[in-house]
Structure 1
Amino acid sequence: MFIVLIQFFDLDQLKRASLYIYIASVIVLIILFISPASIAEAKNGAKSWFNPKGLPLSIQPSEFAKIGLILYLSTIISNHKEKFVDSTIKSDILLLTKIIVITLIPIAFIAQEPDFGSSMVYVFIAGMFVFLSGINWKIIGTLVVGGVTVIGGALWIIISFPDMSQHVLGLDQYQIDRVLNWFDPDHQSSDTFQFDRSLMALGSGQLFGKGLGPSEVYYPEAHSDFIYSMIGESFGFVGSALVVFLYFILLYRLLTHGKKL
Protein backbone atom coordinates (compact mmCIF):
# COMPACT_ATOMS: atom_id res chain seq x y z
CA MET A 1 0.00 0.00 0.00
CA PHE A 2 2.75 2.45 0.93
CA ILE A 3 4.66 1.64 -2.25
CA VAL A 4 1.60 2.59 -4.28
CA LEU A 5 1.08 5.82 -2.32
CA ILE A 6 4.72 6.85 -2.67
CA GLN A 7 4.34 6.79 -6.46
CA PHE A 8 2.17 9.92 -6.19
CA PHE A 9 4.95 11.94 -4.47
CA ASP A 10 8.12 13.22 -6.06
CA LEU A 11 11.46 13.03 -4.26
CA ASP A 12 11.43 16.69 -3.20
CA GLN A 13 8.06 16.26 -1.49
CA LEU A 14 9.26 13.15 0.34
CA LYS A 15 12.44 14.95 1.33
CA ARG A 16 10.52 17.89 2.83
CA ALA A 17 8.10 15.57 4.63
CA SER A 18 10.71 13.10 5.91
CA LEU A 19 11.39 14.90 9.20
CA TYR A 20 7.68 15.07 10.04
CA ILE A 21 7.16 11.42 9.11
CA TYR A 22 10.10 10.44 11.29
CA ILE A 23 8.88 12.52 14.26
CA ALA A 24 5.36 11.13 13.88
CA SER A 25 6.66 7.55 13.86
CA VAL A 26 8.68 8.15 17.03
CA ILE A 27 5.65 9.74 18.73
CA VAL A 28 3.57 6.67 17.88
CA LEU A 29 6.26 4.47 19.46
CA ILE A 30 6.11 6.64 22.59
CA ILE A 31 2.31 6.37 22.68
CA LEU A 32 2.62 2.59 22.41
CA PHE A 33 5.11 2.61 25.30
CA ILE A 34 2.73 4.46 27.64
CA SER A 35 -0.54 2.91 26.42
CA PRO A 36 -2.61 0.77 28.81
CA ALA A 37 -3.27 -2.91 28.22
CA SER A 38 -6.76 -2.13 26.89
CA ILE A 39 -5.14 -0.54 23.82
CA ALA A 40 -1.78 -2.30 23.64
CA GLU A 41 -1.88 -5.68 25.31
CA ALA A 42 1.38 -7.56 25.69
CA LYS A 43 1.65 -10.72 23.59
CA ASN A 44 4.30 -13.37 24.24
CA GLY A 45 5.95 -10.99 26.69
CA ALA A 46 6.21 -8.10 24.20
CA LYS A 47 4.14 -4.93 24.03
CA SER A 48 4.67 -4.34 20.32
CA TRP A 49 1.17 -3.90 18.89
CA PHE A 50 -1.86 -1.67 19.13
CA ASN A 51 -4.74 -4.14 19.50
CA PRO A 52 -7.80 -2.33 20.92
CA LYS A 53 -10.17 -4.71 22.61
CA GLY A 54 -13.29 -5.38 20.62
CA LEU A 55 -11.69 -4.52 17.29
CA PRO A 56 -10.27 -7.08 14.82
CA LEU A 57 -7.23 -4.87 14.38
CA SER A 58 -3.55 -5.22 15.20
CA ILE A 59 -0.95 -2.62 14.24
CA GLN A 60 2.79 -2.83 14.88
CA PRO A 61 4.19 0.74 14.95
CA SER A 62 7.80 -0.37 14.58
CA GLU A 63 7.04 -1.53 11.03
CA PHE A 64 5.78 1.92 10.03
CA ALA A 65 8.64 3.61 11.88
CA LYS A 66 11.09 1.87 9.55
CA ILE A 67 9.69 3.95 6.70
CA GLY A 68 10.18 7.16 8.67
CA LEU A 69 13.74 6.17 9.55
CA ILE A 70 14.65 5.33 5.96
CA LEU A 71 13.20 8.58 4.59
CA TYR A 72 14.83 10.78 7.21
CA LEU A 73 18.23 9.11 7.01
CA SER A 74 18.11 9.61 3.24
CA THR A 75 17.40 13.32 3.76
CA ILE A 76 20.13 13.73 6.38
CA ILE A 77 22.73 12.10 4.15
CA SER A 78 21.63 14.12 1.10
CA ASN A 79 21.77 17.43 2.99
CA HIS A 80 25.13 16.52 4.50
CA LYS A 81 26.62 15.73 1.09
CA GLU A 82 25.36 19.06 -0.27
CA LYS A 83 26.97 20.92 2.61
CA PHE A 84 30.26 18.99 2.62
CA VAL A 85 31.02 18.49 -1.07
CA ASP A 86 34.62 17.56 -0.29
CA SER A 87 34.27 15.14 2.60
CA THR A 88 36.91 14.76 5.27
CA ILE A 89 37.39 12.38 8.17
CA LYS A 90 35.83 14.99 10.45
CA SER A 91 32.76 15.49 8.25
CA ASP A 92 32.34 11.73 7.83
CA ILE A 93 32.45 11.22 11.60
CA LEU A 94 29.82 13.95 11.94
CA LEU A 95 27.59 12.18 9.41
CA LEU A 96 28.12 8.85 11.15
CA THR A 97 27.13 10.44 14.46
CA LYS A 98 23.92 11.79 12.90
CA ILE A 99 23.03 8.35 11.51
CA ILE A 100 23.65 6.66 14.87
CA VAL A 101 21.66 9.17 16.91
CA ILE A 102 18.69 9.18 14.53
CA THR A 103 18.62 5.37 14.56
CA LEU A 104 19.01 5.00 18.33
CA ILE A 105 15.96 7.15 19.15
CA PRO A 106 13.35 4.67 17.84
CA ILE A 107 15.46 1.71 18.97
CA ALA A 108 15.35 3.05 22.55
CA PHE A 109 11.56 2.58 22.64
CA ILE A 110 11.44 -0.62 20.57
CA ALA A 111 13.95 -2.26 22.92
CA GLN A 112 11.62 -1.50 25.84
CA GLU A 113 8.76 -3.50 24.30
CA PRO A 114 10.98 -5.66 24.21
CA ASP A 115 11.52 -6.47 20.53
CA PHE A 116 15.13 -7.45 19.95
CA GLY A 117 14.47 -8.67 16.40
CA SER A 118 13.05 -5.35 15.19
CA SER A 119 15.88 -3.49 16.91
CA MET A 120 18.40 -5.51 14.91
CA VAL A 121 16.52 -4.68 11.70
CA TYR A 122 16.96 -0.98 12.52
CA VAL A 123 20.67 -1.56 13.10
CA PHE A 124 20.87 -3.31 9.72
CA ILE A 125 19.09 -0.39 8.01
CA ALA A 126 21.52 2.08 9.57
CA GLY A 127 24.45 -0.12 8.52
CA MET A 128 23.27 -0.11 4.90
CA PHE A 129 23.00 3.67 4.96
CA VAL A 130 26.52 3.96 6.38
CA PHE A 131 27.78 1.70 3.59
CA LEU A 132 25.94 3.63 0.84
CA SER A 133 26.63 7.12 2.21
CA GLY A 134 30.23 7.21 1.00
CA ILE A 135 31.76 7.44 4.46
CA ASN A 136 35.51 6.82 4.43
CA TRP A 137 36.33 3.13 4.36
CA LYS A 138 38.78 3.54 7.23
CA ILE A 139 35.89 4.56 9.47
CA ILE A 140 33.66 1.75 8.17
CA GLY A 141 36.48 -0.76 8.64
CA THR A 142 36.97 0.40 12.22
CA LEU A 143 33.25 0.00 12.88
CA VAL A 144 33.20 -3.49 11.37
CA VAL A 145 36.22 -4.64 13.38
CA GLY A 146 34.77 -3.14 16.57
CA GLY A 147 31.35 -4.67 15.93
CA VAL A 148 32.78 -8.11 15.17
CA THR A 149 34.91 -7.94 18.32
CA VAL A 150 31.96 -6.99 20.53
CA ILE A 151 29.62 -9.58 19.00
CA GLY A 152 32.32 -12.26 19.11
CA GLY A 153 33.04 -11.48 22.75
CA ALA A 154 29.34 -11.60 23.64
CA LEU A 155 28.89 -14.95 21.87
CA TRP A 156 31.94 -16.37 23.65
CA ILE A 157 30.51 -15.34 27.02
CA ILE A 158 27.10 -16.84 26.19
CA ILE A 159 28.57 -20.14 24.97
CA SER A 160 31.23 -20.48 27.67
CA PHE A 161 29.33 -19.03 30.64
CA PRO A 162 25.59 -19.22 29.85
CA ASP A 163 24.54 -18.83 33.48
CA MET A 164 26.70 -15.77 34.01
CA SER A 165 25.86 -14.15 30.66
CA GLN A 166 22.34 -13.32 31.77
CA HIS A 167 23.74 -10.94 34.39
CA VAL A 168 26.81 -9.71 32.51
CA LEU A 169 25.06 -8.98 29.19
CA GLY A 170 21.59 -8.24 30.53
CA LEU A 171 19.95 -10.89 28.33
CA ASP A 172 16.80 -12.85 29.04
CA GLN A 173 17.05 -16.61 29.32
CA TYR A 174 15.15 -17.20 26.06
CA GLN A 175 17.67 -15.06 24.18
CA ILE A 176 20.55 -17.07 25.63
CA ASP A 177 18.78 -20.31 24.73
CA ARG A 178 18.32 -19.16 21.12
CA VAL A 179 22.05 -18.50 20.77
CA LEU A 180 22.90 -21.88 22.31
CA ASN A 181 20.36 -23.58 20.03
CA TRP A 182 21.97 -21.95 17.02
CA PHE A 183 25.45 -23.27 17.85
CA ASP A 184 24.20 -26.55 19.30
CA PRO A 185 20.84 -27.70 17.86
CA ASP A 186 20.81 -30.55 20.39
CA HIS A 187 20.87 -28.10 23.29
CA GLN A 188 17.83 -28.81 25.44
CA SER A 189 15.82 -25.97 26.94
CA SER A 190 12.25 -24.77 27.23
CA ASP A 191 12.86 -22.70 24.09
CA THR A 192 13.62 -25.58 21.72
CA PHE A 193 10.07 -26.70 20.92
CA GLN A 194 9.41 -24.04 18.28
CA PHE A 195 12.88 -24.50 16.81
CA ASP A 196 12.64 -28.30 16.63
CA ARG A 197 9.16 -28.30 15.11
CA SER A 198 10.07 -25.66 12.52
CA LEU A 199 13.04 -27.76 11.39
CA MET A 200 10.75 -30.78 11.16
CA ALA A 201 8.29 -28.80 9.02
CA LEU A 202 11.06 -27.45 6.79
CA GLY A 203 12.54 -30.89 6.18
CA SER A 204 9.18 -32.57 5.66
CA GLY A 205 8.71 -30.67 2.39
CA GLN A 206 11.59 -32.65 0.86
CA LEU A 207 12.33 -31.69 -2.77
CA PHE A 208 9.07 -30.26 -4.15
CA GLY A 209 6.92 -29.79 -1.04
CA LYS A 210 3.41 -30.83 -0.10
CA GLY A 211 1.61 -27.98 -1.85
CA LEU A 212 -0.48 -25.17 -0.41
CA GLY A 213 -2.71 -26.03 2.51
CA PRO A 214 -2.75 -26.30 6.31
CA SER A 215 0.57 -27.27 7.84
CA GLU A 216 0.81 -30.93 8.78
CA VAL A 217 3.52 -30.16 11.35
CA TYR A 218 2.27 -27.97 14.18
CA TYR A 219 4.44 -25.19 15.58
CA PRO A 220 3.16 -21.98 17.21
CA GLU A 221 3.38 -18.59 15.47
CA ALA A 222 4.23 -20.17 12.11
CA HIS A 223 3.30 -16.94 10.32
CA SER A 224 5.97 -14.87 12.11
CA ASP A 225 9.73 -15.46 12.22
CA PHE A 226 9.25 -19.09 11.13
CA ILE A 227 7.37 -18.42 7.91
CA TYR A 228 10.31 -19.87 5.97
CA SER A 229 9.59 -23.28 7.50
CA MET A 230 6.06 -23.07 6.14
CA ILE A 231 7.45 -22.19 2.71
CA GLY A 232 9.79 -25.19 2.88
CA GLU A 233 6.96 -27.51 3.89
CA SER A 234 4.66 -26.25 1.13
CA PHE A 235 7.16 -25.89 -1.73
CA GLY A 236 10.10 -28.03 -0.67
CA PHE A 237 13.79 -27.39 -1.31
CA VAL A 238 13.11 -26.02 -4.80
CA GLY A 239 10.61 -23.42 -3.60
CA SER A 240 12.58 -22.36 -0.53
CA ALA A 241 15.80 -22.07 -2.57
CA LEU A 242 13.93 -19.88 -5.07
CA VAL A 243 12.87 -17.55 -2.24
CA VAL A 244 16.50 -17.16 -1.12
CA PHE A 245 17.55 -16.49 -4.72
CA LEU A 246 14.86 -13.81 -5.16
CA TYR A 247 15.98 -12.10 -1.95
CA PHE A 248 19.55 -12.13 -3.24
CA ILE A 249 18.45 -10.49 -6.51
CA LEU A 250 16.43 -7.89 -4.59
CA LEU A 251 19.32 -6.98 -2.28
CA TYR A 252 21.76 -6.91 -5.19
CA ARG A 253 19.54 -4.55 -7.19
CA LEU A 254 18.96 -2.30 -4.17
CA LEU A 255 22.70 -2.03 -3.47
CA THR A 256 23.70 -1.42 -7.09
CA HIS A 257 20.93 1.13 -7.58
CA GLY A 258 21.84 2.86 -4.32
CA LYS A 259 25.48 3.20 -5.36
CA LYS A 260 24.40 4.96 -8.56
CA LEU A 261 22.39 7.65 -6.74
Structure 2
Amino acid sequence: MTKIFGHRGSAGTHPENTMISFEQAYKDGADGIELDVQLSKDGIPVVIHDEKVNRTTDGKGLVKDLSLLELKQLNAVHKFKKLYKQAEIPTLEEVLEWASKKQTIVNIELKNSIVPYSGMEEKVLDLINRYNMKHLIIFSSFNHYSIARLHALAPELEKAVLYMEGIYKPWDYTKWVGGNGIHPHIKAATPSIIQRAQAAGVPVRPFTVNDEKMMKRLFDEGCAGFFTDYPKIAVQLKYQN
Protein backbone atom coordinates (compact mmCIF):
# COMPACT_ATOMS: atom_id res chain seq x y z
CA MET A 1 0.00 0.00 0.00
CA THR A 2 1.44 3.34 -1.12
CA LYS A 3 2.37 5.52 1.85
CA ILE A 4 1.54 9.24 1.78
CA PHE A 5 4.00 11.69 3.31
CA GLY A 6 3.03 15.28 4.07
CA HIS A 7 5.84 17.30 2.46
CA ARG A 8 6.98 19.77 5.16
CA GLY A 9 3.63 18.82 6.69
CA SER A 10 0.57 20.04 4.75
CA ALA A 11 2.68 22.72 3.09
CA GLY A 12 0.16 23.54 0.35
CA THR A 13 -2.33 24.84 2.89
CA HIS A 14 -0.35 25.52 6.10
CA PRO A 15 2.97 27.18 7.09
CA GLU A 16 5.64 24.68 6.00
CA ASN A 17 7.83 22.87 8.53
CA THR A 18 5.81 24.09 11.53
CA MET A 19 3.87 22.12 14.16
CA ILE A 20 0.66 23.56 12.65
CA SER A 21 1.56 21.94 9.33
CA PHE A 22 2.66 18.59 10.82
CA GLU A 23 -0.49 18.35 12.98
CA GLN A 24 -2.61 19.00 9.89
CA ALA A 25 -0.87 16.28 7.84
CA TYR A 26 -1.55 13.86 10.69
CA LYS A 27 -5.22 14.93 10.86
CA ASP A 28 -5.46 14.56 7.07
CA GLY A 29 -4.54 10.89 7.43
CA ALA A 30 -0.99 10.99 6.04
CA ASP A 31 1.14 7.95 6.91
CA GLY A 32 4.04 10.22 7.76
CA ILE A 33 5.57 13.67 7.54
CA GLU A 34 8.68 14.96 5.81
CA LEU A 35 10.83 17.69 7.30
CA ASP A 36 14.18 19.40 6.78
CA VAL A 37 16.90 19.69 9.43
CA GLN A 38 19.71 22.21 9.84
CA LEU A 39 21.76 23.28 12.85
CA SER A 40 21.45 26.56 14.73
CA LYS A 41 24.56 28.59 15.61
CA ASP A 42 24.64 26.76 18.95
CA GLY A 43 24.41 23.37 17.27
CA ILE A 44 20.73 22.51 17.88
CA PRO A 45 18.89 20.56 15.13
CA VAL A 46 16.09 22.82 13.89
CA VAL A 47 13.39 22.24 11.29
CA ILE A 48 13.61 24.62 8.34
CA HIS A 49 14.14 24.10 4.61
CA ASP A 50 16.20 27.03 3.29
CA GLU A 51 19.73 27.83 4.42
CA LYS A 52 18.42 31.38 5.00
CA VAL A 53 15.41 32.29 7.14
CA ASN A 54 14.33 35.04 4.71
CA ARG A 55 11.66 33.20 2.68
CA THR A 56 9.73 31.41 5.42
CA THR A 57 10.05 33.82 8.36
CA ASP A 58 10.00 37.55 9.16
CA GLY A 59 13.76 37.42 9.80
CA LYS A 60 16.90 37.63 7.70
CA GLY A 61 20.17 35.72 7.64
CA LEU A 62 21.58 32.22 7.62
CA VAL A 63 20.24 29.56 9.98
CA LYS A 64 23.83 28.67 10.94
CA ASP A 65 24.46 32.26 12.12
CA LEU A 66 21.43 32.44 14.44
CA SER A 67 21.16 30.90 17.90
CA LEU A 68 18.17 28.77 18.86
CA LEU A 69 16.88 31.68 20.97
CA GLU A 70 17.11 34.03 17.94
CA LEU A 71 15.44 31.47 15.64
CA LYS A 72 12.62 30.93 18.16
CA GLN A 73 11.81 34.66 18.10
CA LEU A 74 11.04 34.54 14.37
CA ASN A 75 7.55 34.11 13.00
CA ALA A 76 7.37 31.27 10.46
CA VAL A 77 3.77 31.71 9.26
CA HIS A 78 5.26 32.49 5.83
CA LYS A 79 2.50 33.12 3.23
CA PHE A 80 -0.32 32.18 5.62
CA LYS A 81 -0.33 35.41 7.66
CA LYS A 82 -4.09 35.85 7.17
CA LEU A 83 -4.81 32.42 8.65
CA TYR A 84 -2.27 32.28 11.49
CA LYS A 85 -0.80 34.91 13.76
CA GLN A 86 2.26 33.01 14.90
CA ALA A 87 4.24 29.83 14.24
CA GLU A 88 7.68 29.01 15.58
CA ILE A 89 10.54 27.24 13.86
CA PRO A 90 10.40 23.90 15.71
CA THR A 91 13.41 22.03 17.00
CA LEU A 92 13.74 18.47 15.75
CA GLU A 93 13.33 17.36 19.36
CA GLU A 94 9.90 19.02 19.58
CA VAL A 95 8.74 17.25 16.42
CA LEU A 96 10.09 13.86 17.52
CA GLU A 97 8.45 14.19 20.93
CA TRP A 98 5.12 14.82 19.17
CA ALA A 99 5.65 12.09 16.51
CA SER A 100 6.65 9.49 19.10
CA LYS A 101 3.27 9.97 20.81
CA LYS A 102 1.40 9.78 17.48
CA GLN A 103 3.60 6.90 16.23
CA THR A 104 3.75 8.54 12.82
CA ILE A 105 6.60 8.04 10.33
CA VAL A 106 9.09 10.91 10.04
CA ASN A 107 11.24 11.39 6.96
CA ILE A 108 14.19 13.52 8.07
CA GLU A 109 15.95 15.29 5.22
CA LEU A 110 19.41 16.42 6.26
CA LYS A 111 20.04 19.79 4.61
CA ASN A 112 23.81 19.63 4.49
CA SER A 113 24.63 19.92 0.80
CA ILE A 114 25.34 23.67 0.85
CA VAL A 115 26.31 24.27 4.50
CA PRO A 116 28.45 21.36 5.78
CA TYR A 117 27.03 21.04 9.31
CA SER A 118 29.66 19.22 11.34
CA GLY A 119 28.32 16.48 13.62
CA MET A 120 24.76 16.80 12.33
CA GLU A 121 24.30 13.06 11.82
CA GLU A 122 25.34 12.21 15.39
CA LYS A 123 23.12 14.91 16.91
CA VAL A 124 20.06 13.73 14.98
CA LEU A 125 20.73 10.05 15.79
CA ASP A 126 21.04 10.93 19.46
CA LEU A 127 17.53 12.44 19.44
CA ILE A 128 16.08 9.46 17.58
CA ASN A 129 17.51 7.11 20.20
CA ARG A 130 16.25 9.31 23.01
CA TYR A 131 12.66 9.10 21.71
CA ASN A 132 12.85 5.42 20.62
CA MET A 133 11.93 6.40 17.07
CA LYS A 134 14.25 4.13 15.06
CA HIS A 135 11.38 2.07 13.61
CA LEU A 136 9.58 5.23 12.41
CA ILE A 137 12.47 7.15 10.81
CA ILE A 138 13.54 7.43 7.18
CA PHE A 139 16.61 9.55 6.48
CA SER A 140 17.16 11.26 3.15
CA SER A 141 19.67 13.71 1.74
CA PHE A 142 20.96 15.15 -1.52
CA ASN A 143 24.36 14.85 0.16
CA HIS A 144 25.12 11.18 -0.42
CA TYR A 145 28.28 11.39 1.70
CA SER A 146 25.87 12.00 4.57
CA ILE A 147 23.91 8.83 3.70
CA ALA A 148 27.18 6.88 3.75
CA ARG A 149 28.06 8.43 7.12
CA LEU A 150 24.65 7.55 8.56
CA HIS A 151 25.07 4.00 7.31
CA ALA A 152 28.39 3.71 9.16
CA LEU A 153 26.84 5.14 12.35
CA ALA A 154 23.45 3.37 12.24
CA PRO A 155 23.32 0.63 9.58
CA GLU A 156 19.91 -0.57 10.80
CA LEU A 157 18.11 2.72 10.04
CA GLU A 158 16.27 3.33 6.78
CA LYS A 159 18.02 5.75 4.43
CA ALA A 160 17.29 7.02 0.92
CA VAL A 161 19.21 9.04 -1.65
CA LEU A 162 17.48 12.15 -2.95
CA TYR A 163 18.15 13.07 -6.55
CA MET A 164 16.75 15.27 -9.32
CA GLU A 165 17.92 13.70 -12.56
CA GLY A 166 18.71 10.28 -13.92
CA ILE A 167 21.09 8.05 -11.97
CA TYR A 168 22.09 4.82 -13.70
CA LYS A 169 20.51 1.87 -11.86
CA PRO A 170 19.60 3.98 -8.79
CA TRP A 171 18.55 0.79 -6.94
CA ASP A 172 22.18 -0.39 -7.10
CA TYR A 173 23.61 3.08 -6.47
CA THR A 174 21.70 3.64 -3.22
CA LYS A 175 22.97 0.33 -1.80
CA TRP A 176 26.50 1.26 -2.84
CA VAL A 177 26.41 4.48 -0.77
CA GLY A 178 24.68 2.82 2.19
CA GLY A 179 21.03 3.58 1.47
CA ASN A 180 18.13 1.23 0.95
CA GLY A 181 15.55 3.45 -0.77
CA ILE A 182 15.41 6.12 -3.49
CA HIS A 183 13.61 9.47 -3.42
CA PRO A 184 13.74 10.80 -7.00
CA HIS A 185 12.15 13.97 -8.32
CA ILE A 186 8.82 12.88 -9.80
CA LYS A 187 10.13 13.58 -13.35
CA ALA A 188 12.92 11.05 -12.75
CA ALA A 189 10.48 8.47 -11.34
CA THR A 190 9.44 6.74 -14.55
CA PRO A 191 7.20 3.64 -14.38
CA SER A 192 10.22 1.55 -15.45
CA ILE A 193 12.47 2.96 -12.68
CA ILE A 194 9.78 2.35 -10.04
CA GLN A 195 9.13 -1.18 -11.25
CA ARG A 196 12.79 -2.17 -11.57
CA ALA A 197 13.85 -0.59 -8.26
CA GLN A 198 11.04 -2.17 -6.28
CA ALA A 199 11.65 -5.54 -7.96
CA ALA A 200 15.21 -5.20 -6.58
CA GLY A 201 13.77 -4.61 -3.09
CA VAL A 202 14.40 -0.85 -3.13
CA PRO A 203 11.37 1.29 -2.20
CA VAL A 204 10.73 4.36 -4.38
CA ARG A 205 9.18 7.52 -2.93
CA PRO A 206 9.09 10.42 -5.43
CA PHE A 207 8.74 14.13 -4.56
CA THR A 208 6.82 16.47 -4.77
CA VAL A 209 3.60 15.00 -6.15
CA ASN A 210 0.76 17.53 -6.21
CA ASP A 211 -0.95 16.47 -9.45
CA GLU A 212 -3.94 14.16 -8.93
CA LYS A 213 -3.35 12.19 -12.15
CA MET A 214 0.23 11.54 -11.05
CA MET A 215 -0.95 10.45 -7.59
CA LYS A 216 -3.35 7.98 -9.22
CA ARG A 217 -0.56 6.66 -11.44
CA LEU A 218 1.66 6.02 -8.41
CA PHE A 219 -1.15 4.25 -6.55
CA ASP A 220 -1.84 2.07 -9.61
CA GLU A 221 1.86 1.20 -9.94
CA GLY A 222 2.12 0.21 -6.29
CA CYS A 223 4.83 2.81 -5.65
CA ALA A 224 6.12 2.51 -2.06
CA GLY A 225 5.18 6.10 -1.24
CA PHE A 226 5.35 9.73 -2.29
CA PHE A 227 5.69 13.23 -0.84
CA THR A 228 2.93 15.77 -1.39
CA ASP A 229 2.07 19.30 -0.24
CA TYR A 230 -1.60 18.20 -0.23
CA PRO A 231 -1.83 15.01 1.86
CA LYS A 232 -5.60 15.44 2.34
CA ILE A 233 -6.22 15.17 -1.42
CA ALA A 234 -3.82 12.20 -1.69
CA VAL A 235 -5.55 10.33 1.17
CA GLN A 236 -8.98 10.88 -0.41
CA LEU A 237 -7.72 9.57 -3.77
CA LYS A 238 -6.02 6.58 -2.14
CA TYR A 239 -9.27 5.33 -0.66
CA GLN A 240 -11.28 6.03 -3.83
CA ASN A 241 -8.93 3.71 -5.72
TM-score, scaled relative to structure 2: 0.30
Greater RCO between the two (CA within 8 Å, min separation 6)?
A: 2
Larger Rg: 1
TM-score, scaled relative to structure 1: 0.28
Q: Which structure has greater strand proportion?
A: 2
Q: Which structure has greater helix proportion?
A: 1
